[in-house]
Structure 1
C-alpha cells in the first residue's frame, strides 16, 4: 500500500504540476499553487538542487506544507 503523502487516491495534489522560477541555495523554491505560497523541494533532496533548473515540476508527494517534486517529462 502506498503512503498517503504520495497516493493520488488520497492526495489529489500528487501528479499536478507547478512552475519553479528559481531555486534557492538551500534546495528549496517558493511557488504559488492553489492560491497559496508553497515550499518546493526535489524528491532527491537538497543535494539534487545543485542541478535543479527553473521549469515545470510534477508533485510526487506532499509532506506537511512542502511539495516534493520531480522534473516533469
Structure 2
C-alpha cells in the first residue's frame, strides 16, 4: 500500500475539523490584515498578522499529515 495509512487519517479527522474551524478564523484575520496593510503599508505588524493567518489556514493539512506520518498502518 505504500503511503496509505488509513488509521492515522481516521484518528486525525476530529482534530482536522477543529483545525478547519481555526483556519476559517485565520481566513478572516488574513482578509482584515491584508486590508489594513494596504491602507497603512508602514505597519509591519499587519503583514505579520496576515502571515500568521496563512499558517492558520494551512493548519488542517498539517494536522492530517502529522497524524498519517505518526501512526503506522
TM bucket (normalised to shorter chain) is under 0.3
Structure of higher RCO (CA pairs closer than 8 Å, 6+ residues apart): 2
Between Structure 1 and Structure 2, which shows a larger proportion of helix residues?
Answer: 2
Give the TM-score, by structure 2 length. Answer: 0.27
Between Structure 1 and Structure 2, which shows a larger proportion of strand residues?
Answer: 1
Q: Looking at CA atoms only, which structure, 1 or 2, has the larger radius of gyration?
A: 2
